[in-house]
Amino acid sequence: MIKERIKRTFPIPQILRLINPDYSYCGICGLPWNHCKTKDVRVSARNSVFATCSYCWEHSELYEIKIAYIDVYRKWQEMDATPKYSLGYLLRQVEVEYIRTHGK
C-alpha cells in the first residue's frame, strides 16, 4: 500500500506522464493508465466509463470522484464525442457505484 501511495506523490505522476505521452491518466492522482488499474463505472449493459484509478476510487470522497468524471465529460464535449447519456446520468451511476463499493 505504501508503494501505491508513494507513486502518487508529486512529481512522480507528472514525470510518468512525460515518459508515457500516449496514455491518458487518472483524474485524481494523475498516474498514466499503464501505471495503475482503472476503476470502471457501468453506464449501460455494454458500456463502462473510467476517470479514476482503483486506488483513488478507494481512497477518495465521492465529491472528488465526481469532479474527475465531470472533467472527463467536459473533455468528451470538447472533442465532440459526448455520449448518448447526460452528465447527470453519469454522475448518478458514479454515486450508485460509490455506495455499492464503499457502503455509504
Q: Where is 71: in which H helix or E strand?
A: helix 62-78
Question: pLDDT band at residue 63, thresholds of 50, 70 and 90?
Answer: very high
**Domain ranges, residue 48:** 2-102
> How many domains does one find in the chain?
1
Answer whether residue 82 shows pLDDT above 80.
no
Answer whether residue 104 shows pLDDT above 70.
no
- Cell numbers for 75, please give them: 473533455
pLDDT computed for residue 83 by the predictor: 80
Residue matched to cell numbers 464535449: 77
* 61-86 average pLDDT score: 93
Q: What are phi and psi of 81, to 5 degrees?
A: -120, 30
- Measure the CA–CA gap between 16 and 8, rounded to whole angstroms: 10
Burial of 61 (0-12, 13-18, 19+ CB in 10 A): exposed
